[in-house]
Amino acid sequence: MTAGGLRQRVFLLENNPKLEAYSNLTQALEAMLSRQNDRFVQLAQTVARFGATSETSGESALHDALAKTARALDQLNSRRREQSPGPPVELVLLLSGQETCQRSPGLQQARELLADRCSRDQWQILVLAVGAQAVEQALDLGISPERIVAVRPDARDVKRGMRWLEEALISLGTTGVLPDGWNRSVGGLRILRGDITHYTGEAIVNAANNALSGGGGVDGAIHQAAGPELLVYTSKLGGCPTGEARVSPGFHLPADWIIHTVGPVWQGGESAEPELLASCYRSCVARAVENGLSTLAFPSISTGVYGYPTDQAAAIALREIHRALAEQERLTEITVVCFNEAIYQTYLALENGAELTQNE
């Protein structure tokens, strides 16, 4: 047993000398796991065949992402043990390999273990599947698609998958459920239902007031989660006009930065509200790019007490986000975090409709 009370179970497949040598990415993952595998209680690894996908220097960023995910796992399971003793939440890392790997003793041992857990209903599991074959293996093991993060064998994608796992673990610890859409991304856009203060990417957007003084709704939630240091900082920024954006540190938030923007108050649509709302998204993207950021999360700006109709606001938001992802190579992922089910369903319906129109 480790200090955290978690059993360490690491299953490594036999190293078949006939297979290609490990890529830099695989070596980086192995090095990280050798330092962190007490936190990952389940690891089923196949021999990887990636090719040149990562520089060894990328190990530091990957290790940081893994360490954050491991800490979130520890915190979740510690909280679960205090509230209701039972089996821990467990993580599995699956790496794609050649077909011959899938018959190896290590993977078979992992299959038997997971089958035993399934039959006794004694486990909750999340999977990071690196590569197409790993996804197939996870599904073949009977793991629900809602619990699988599928990423390409690329260092940046693996880091992103680890970040998504961290978000999922935080959500399980605070709400007991996984966020809707937590493991899905299309063209760099992800739409979630959840709490934006739990976002673990580089920056979140705050729907602020002109004085940047905190308030209700998402603004109040962000100030509360970031701590009193945020108000001290924003009080020195001189406010923010509607449609523009200002940047502050994230302080106690998981995200490093907060981009504050002021959305328009709905006045029937005849007071330049659409133009001002679009400007909010463009200004936030501009501030993100200026600061070298690649991941960003928006709330649904102006649809709360400012009264902007959700369907109209969501249409503008999606248009501007897709434009940003197409024009800004630096931005690899933009997430919309919807606070309630109605807003979430509106964004999903509009996004699906836009995709259908593009495919026709």
Task: Note the pLDDT of residue 178.
Answer: 86
In sequence order, what are the residues at sequence separation of 6 or more whose Cβ sits closer than 8 angstroms to the Cβ of residue 199? 167, 254, 255, 297, 335, 337
Task: Note the pLDDT of residue 242.
Answer: 98
Amino acid identity, position 145 = P
Q: Six-digit token pair at 84? A: 């209701």
Question: pLDDT for 243-297, tens place per residue?
Answer: 999 999 999 999 999 999 999 999 999 999 999 999 999 999 999 999 999 999 9
First to last CA, the chain: 56
Task: Determine contact, residues 64/35, Cβ cutoff 8 Å.
Answer: no
What does pTM read for this prediction? 0.78
- Asked: is 196-359 a CATH 3.40.50.460 domain? The reply is no
Among residues 271, 265, 258, 287, the alpha carbon closest in space to that of 210 is found at: 265
Residue 122 has pLDDT above 60, yes or no: no
Does 219 participate in catalysis according to the annotation?
Answer: yes
Selected from 3.20.20, 3.40.30, 2.60.120, 3.40.50, the CATH number assigned to the domain covering 9-178 reads 3.40.50
Of 142 and 318, the structure prediction assigns the larger pLDDT to 318
Tell me where in the chain the CATH 3.40.50 domain(s) lie.
Answer: 9-178
Tell me where in the chain the CATH 3.40.220.10 domain(s) lie.
Answer: 196-359
Residue 189 parent element (H or E): strand 189-193
Task: Note the pLDDT of residue 128.
Answer: 82
DSSP 8-state class, residue 237: T
Distance of alpha carbon 218 from alpha carbon 216, whole angstroms: 6
The single residue of 140, 219, 256, 311 carrying the catalytic annotation is 219
